[in-house]
Each structure stands twice: as C-alpha cells, then as structure tokens.
Structure 1
Amino acid sequence: MRHLLTTLALATSLTPPGEALAQTRFDGVWLFDDAGPNPGVTMLQVASEGTRITGAVTTEWYGPVTMQNARLDKGVLTFEVRNLNDREHPTRTWRVRSTPKGVQLEGQMWFSKIDASGRRGTVKQAEARAFRFQTLPAWAEVEQLPLAPTPPMGWSSWNKFAEKIDDATIRAMADAMVSTGLRDAGYLYVNIDDGWQGTRGPDGKIRANAKFPDMKALADYVHSKGLKIGIYSSQGPRTCAGFEGSYGHVQQDAQTFADWGFDYLKYDLCSGEYFYADADTVKRSYAEMGAALRATGRPIIFSLCEYGRFDVGAWGRQVGGQLWRTTGDITDDYKTMAQIGFDKNGKPEYAGPNGFNDPDMLEVGNGGMSLDEYTTHMTLWAMSAAPLLMGHDLRQTPPAMLALLENREVIAVDQDSKGIQGKAVRKEGKLEIWSKALADGSVALALFNRGDASARMEARAADAGFAAITAARDLWRAAPVAPDVLTFDVPAHGAVMLRVQGA
C-alpha cells in the first residue's frame, strides 16, 4: 500500500493540484462518499506502469482489497479480488467503468453486491482515508479457566431473530427460560448475538445501539433470574451483520463486557478473516481476546467462532477457549443439520471438561424439521457432548419441542462429567450406531436412521464395549427395555437413544 501511495504521490507532483497522471484513465485516487453496505467501499486507488496495473479498493469491512490480475478489457478496468468466506468462489471479478462524473465500481463480495459511484480524489485525501492497520501481539498461550466442566447450555438470539433484537426481547427470553422450566433443566446462558452494537464514543468505548439503552441493567436483570448472560463480537472491523467489531479495541471491549457484567463471549471471525487468513494470525487473534478477557478478572466463557478452520480443536484451549465451532452456520433443515452433526462435529479427541467441539446452535422449535428429525438433532448433539444453545422463540415452544429440550435423561448424557464425545462404532449404509462412555460406567448408545424409509435396527453389547448388556433404558420413551432384545423400528431421519449397563 505504501508503494501505491508513493506512485500516486509522484504522479500528483507532476500534475496540477487535485489531479493525477492518467497513464490509464483510471489511474489515481477515486473517492466514494456513500460507502454503502458490505463491504463499505470508501476509496479506489489505481497505478499503472507500462502494461502492469496495480491497485486496491479500501473498504470499511476488510480494509484494502487488493486487485489481482488487473487489466483493461474494452475500456473497462477488470480485476479479481479474494472473496471472503466462500470456498466455492474463492475469487470474484470486479469492474470499474468511466462515467461522466467519475467511475462506477461493480462487483460482489460474499453475499453482497457492490454498485458504487466514485469521484476523482487526491493523494492527500487518500492518506486521510487510508485504513489504519493494527498489529497482533506475538503468540503467547493464554491460561484457560475451568469455566465449562460440561458443555454450556442456554439460548442464543441469532437463529430466530438474526440482528433484529432488542432489550425487551432478551428480557422476555430470560423470563421464558424460567417459566417453561428450561432453566431448571440446565439451560443457563441467555446470549445476545449480532446486532446490539452502536458506535464508539470519543474515548473509543463501544456503545450499544438505541435498542439496548442500558447493558448493565439488562445483565443485572438476567442475573436476577438465576441465569447468566452472553454477548457477541468479531475481531474484524465489522461483525457478520455489519455492526462495529473489536478491531483495534480488543482490550477495551473485553473490559467493557466485564464492566457490563457479561459471562460469555462469542467471538466471530467474520470480516476479521480478511486480515487473519492463515493459521498463525487466526490463532493469535483469538489469543489476543482470550488474554484480554483473562485480564479483566471476570470469569467469561470464551466461545471461538471461526468455522472449524486450521484444526481449531488442537489449539482452542491454548487461547483460553472453552468451546470452538467446528463448521459453518447451521440452518433449520435436516440435510444441513445432519451433515454438521454426523460429519462436521469435530474430532472426539479434542473434547473434554472445559473444552468442547461446537457444531453450532440448536434449531429445535423453529419449525423447519419434523419431530423425528429434531429428535435426531437433540440425540446427535447430546451424544457429541455439544453445547446445547437453543435458537427459537422461547415464548412459542410447542409441547413436543419442550419435551425434547427438557428431557433430563438425554441432557444428562450431554452433561456427563466425563466429557467424552461419542462417535459411530458401526455403520451399515444409511444406518449408524454411536457409543458414548459415561462417568458411572454405563454407556449411551444411539441408533440413527439417515435413510428415507423406516428401518429395523439392533443395538449389540459389542457396540457398548460389553460382553453382555445387563440393563437398558430407552431415554426418549423414559422406560426400561429388555436388555436381550434391543431391536427397534427407527423411523426415517429418526433416532433411538439408550443408556445401557453391562458386563
């Protein structure tokens, strides 16, 4: 970027003030006064030398986005950019066209289309709009606090409300956690996801937006219900929904969260992955916040959300994390849920007390799956020792969904003190049998039918590591079953969950 500014400065010194040498018609500085949505374009800088064209588009979300393979194509400046968070389309093509008043930039980044008008600017103006990079601390391991001996349980706002949340909704969810019995079943955290942030004051301190008039009072209210409260941020300049991130304010934000009384932080890579794009920088960016949380003196669970990149389970504890996402976002459909739960739920060897693989939040109660499919969802998450973070409107929980969520025997498998993540021990086509050893010597077995038709399935003593099964209980039916006849008709996309004892 310094080279580009130097080139532009030299061009400016040879031309009248306010103009840049037009080796191509696009050379120089172009200013965008209406940044628009993601990625928030503020400036375009172009320099050419012979047939070589270089440049960058400065954005509010990702800083300078460097041009790749820039060329003139029938009078249009065409180039590729690295496309954020899209493995199918790692680059996108952007184009710049001349207009009577300047230039028009068109392109796409991730899910957002860009169509922005720019006017001619100067090097001095470019310097004023230049992105201010932050330097990551050197790697240092963060002492992990034992804040999650079992997987965290609670509720999070994103799956149902996305960024459309407010103080009243969070209070209502806390009330519903109590009135429905969910709190007493073990669900304790009420987590505010993206959408609470306002702007920063002159002191750099983050303020909540108008929908959250008093964060400290909100935290106090949730605590008064016998619950805990969580919050969300990103190490990038912007969160996934475009709100203020923690870039350049990591220590300050951690202290603010502690001062407000928060007990949990979900830290989402989002725009940060344009700055922290390899294993080293991602790891250090999480360690920076982990150390900042530790320095506040307040016990705050640290949830890493970086979509399972760079084998996060191998180092999640080293940055102070108690849980780490293993995948992209879940959606309320069987295909996505099953793909995540069966195939992207993390390596079992990384799970244990105070550190758990996180296959994302629960969709139970949001209406996109059948009762059998939601039964599979809960069974999978419990067998995986996954965090149980509900994502529906707790005021509108159908009785059948509440029964799934409050099944104490299933919750006990998830919350077992041994902290073992279960795994498949036998697969036969679309049929899978999973096993999970429990602290009292018993074993949880789950029979999953991933097929489209009902199937007859049998649980065997060898599945549990026993020579013989001496006692068995069907956890969803809350009833004992004969240990010598563990054969079940499992519905399509359904599951049976057992707790067995043996010799």
Structure 2
Amino acid sequence: MAALCFFLILNAEAAAAVRHGQKITGGGRNIRRNLIDNGLGRAPPMGWNSWNHFGCNIQEKLIRETDDCWAELNRDSKGNFVPKASAFPAGIKALADYVHAKGLKLGIYSDAGTQTCSKTMPGSLGHEEQDAKTFASWGVDYLKYDNCFNTGTSPKERYPIMSKALLNSGRPIFFSLCEWGREDPATWAPKIGNSWRTTDQNDKWASYAGPGGYNDPDMLEVGNGGMTTEEYRAHFSIWALAKVWAGPLSGNRVAVVLWNRGSSKATVTANWSDIGLKLNHSTVVNARDLWQHKTILPINGQIAANLESHACKMFVLTPQ
C-alpha cells in the first residue's frame, strides 16, 4: 500500500457497496442489521493515519494527506473551512485528484465539537451541512469525526446530524465515528456510521461488527520511536490478524502469526491443530512470508520460526 494519507487512504475494496437491510451471514446464522444507507463499508477500511506520528507537522510535500491541523484556525466570511495555505497550497480538491489518480481513496478529519482536538482549527458542530457539502465538493471519501470540545451534549445527538449531512451531500462518504466508546457506540452507531471507536478494550463488542459497520480500536503506533523495528512489526502483524481474523481465509488458506513474547531469542512452533487447520498432520502447505515477501518450501504438519525477542513472522498457509 502506498504511504500517503490524507488522514486515511482506503483501497477500492474497502469502499465496496453494502445496501440497507442486506442479509449478512455470520456466526453460523443469517442475521439482519439496520445499517446506515450510504452504500459503503462491505469490507473494513484499510489505510494509514498521519496523526500518531506527524501530529500537526504535516504539509502537502511531505505526505500528500493529513489528519487534524489541515485547516486554518478561522473559517472564511461565509463560514467555510479554509485549507491551510502554508501546508496545502494547491488546496484539498487538487490533493484528492492526486490521490484518486493513484487508485486510492481520500480521508479527512473533523470534530463533533467547536474545535478539533489539536485546538488549531474549528470543529463542525453547527456547520454539519456546510462542511459535508464542502467535503463532497473536494472529492473526500472518508471522514473521521472526533469528540473534542463537544459542549457536553450527548454524542447520540451530535453524530446523527453529521450522518444526515453526509447522506445529503451527494457523495458517498465513509463515516467513522471517533466517539471514544463513552456511550457504547456499537449499540447505536450502526444506523449512523460505518465504524465506531470502541476504545482499546473492545473484546465485548465482537458481535456488533460486520459488513457495513465495524468496531474501531483506533490507530497503530508504528514509527513513533518507542519500540524496535521487530516490535513494530509484531505490533502491526498481530493488530492486522486481530482485526481480520474470523476463521480460514478464502481458498482454504489460513493466516498465522508466530510471535516471540520472551526477552531472548527463541523458536516458536505451531502445529496444524494449534492454528485451526482442518487438515491431516501430513498435509503439505505453501507458506508465504508476508514480511519477507517470499514463499517457504512446502512444509507439512507444523510451521516454526527462530525469532529474536519480541519479533514475529506472519504467514499465509495454502494447502497444496
């Protein structure tokens, strides 16, 4: 995936349509979910967010996208957002065109309050219709909507206003609610948005996630300097597995991460039965190393890796 990000860059698959009231299969049964009718979110969004590493130190030349801090502190005389000229001299529309030309999607950030969390630009509270139309006119595909400076009003009152504004904007925009999980958004947000922040303790919300609406445990910390490269790789791999794991992959494949949680080098081994492979012990598979971008010679019965402290290997196993 290309390393550019106007807050988030989504792949085309993540914008595949899901229609209101669609029948969804999950957990061995068919269920119906009352989902927001914006035609988005059949697959979980995948991309990169600039905030955790760059914060407000963003500019067009550096990353071609941003999170918070992309607008001037004040709106123009008509109440519109003003993109920060020093950071984005060509404007957001030109940036969106650039991102779309790469076959990617463009995401942007705002807040369901009077200011964004950085205090450097206005929020969208009271300007929802206006801002939604602005985002649509720029070609934005994704909105992360934060919860700072919210005037003490319940998110159940504030977030539906932006949801309706986006639906009326004339452009399908993936709506990501960053409500922080304060009022159990998994129980009410599916009717409003396509994903909702759950806080990092999200295990109790698994039954609420599915095509059209997703639990959002927020961002990775890769690149921020507090861990080694191996630890970042483990963080990324296990986060990826935790987000997408729901059983075997397509084509009878299986994803597996071998992770050394110890303080010294060690060999980590997984037998087919350990990782849920419904195969005989003698079944031969090809193992694709996702970090090294190479396929290991056919193996059978188990997979093993000699790992440094806190390092990991991530494989996709394909039966021959």
Q: Deviations over 1:379-421 (max 9, x none)?
A: 1132123xxxxxxxxxxxxxxxxxxxxxxxxxxxxxxxxxx53
Name 2:70's counterpart in structure 1. 196
Q: Which of residues 461, 465, 468 in structure 1 aligns to 2:272?
A: 461
Assess if the C-alpha contact under 8 Å between 1:304 and 1:325 holds in 2.
yes
Q: Which amino acid aligns with 1:246?
A: S
Q: Which of residues 161, 164, 167 in structure 1 aligns to 2:57?
A: 164
| Distance 1:346-1:488 versus aligned 2 partners, 3 A rule | farther
Shift of 1:221: 3.2
Q: Which amino acid aligns with 1:159?
A: N
RMSD: 2.8
Name 1:264's counterpart in structure 2. 142
Name 2:196's counterpart in structure 1. 324
Structure 2 counterparts to residues 26-65 of structure 1, below 5 A: none
Report the secondary structure of 2:240's partner residue.
helix
Name 2:306's counterpart in structure 1. 489
Name 1:255's counterpart in structure 2. 133
Indicate yes or no: 2:163 matched with 1:349: no
Q: Tell me which moved more, 483-492 or 371-380.
A: 483-492
Name 1:499's counterpart in structure 2. 316
Assess if the C-alpha contact under 8 Å between 2:271 and 2:302 holds in 1.
no
Q: Using the alignment, how far apart are the partners of 1:311 and 1:232 within structure 2?
A: 22
Q: Using the alignment, how far apart are the partners of 2:99 and 2:319 within structure 1?
A: 44
Indicate yes or no: 2:184 matched with 1:311: yes
Q: Deviations over 1:9-65 (max 9, x none)?
A: xxxxxxxxxxxxxxxxxxxxxxxxxxxxxxxxxxxxxxxxxxxxxxxxxxxxxxxxx
Name 2:249's counterpart in structure 1. 438
Q: Which amino acid aligns with 1:241?
A: S
Q: Which amino acid aligns with 1:364?
A: V
Assess if the C-alpha contact under 8 Å between 2:268 and 2:304 holds in 1.
yes
Report the secondary structure of 2:95's partner residue.
helix
Q: Using the alignment, how far apart are the partners of 2:171 and 2:252 within structure 1?
A: 36
| Distance 1:447-1:165 versus aligned 2 partners, 3 A rule | same
Q: Which amino acid aligns with 1:206?
A: F
Q: Which of residues 158, 162, 175 in structure 2 aligns to 1:285?
A: 158
Name 1:226's counterpart in structure 2. 103
Q: Which amino acid aligns with 1:316?
A: A
Structure 2: any 5+ residue segments left out of the alignment? 1-33
Report the secondary structure of 2:96's partner residue.
helix
Indicate yes or no: 2:287 matched with 1:473: yes
How many correspondences in the alignment? 277
Higher share of residues assigned strand? 1
Q: Which of residues 421, 440, 446 in structure 1 aligns to 2:245?
A: 421
Q: Using the alignment, how far apart are the partners of 1:437 and 1:310 within structure 2?
A: 33
Runs of 4+ in 1 over 6 A off after TM superposition: none
Assess if the C-alpha contact under 8 Å between 1:230 and 1:264 holds in 2.
yes
User: TM-score under structure 1 normalisation?
Assistant: 0.50
Assess if the C-alpha contact under 8 Å between 2:50 and 2:67 holds in 1.
yes
Identity %: 42
Assess if the C-alpha contact under 8 Å between 2:35 and 2:212 holds in 1.
no
Report the secondary structure of 1:207's partner residue.
coil
User: TM-score under structure 2 normalisation?
Assistant: 0.75
Shift of 1:448: 2.5
Q: Which amino acid aligns with 2:98?
A: Y
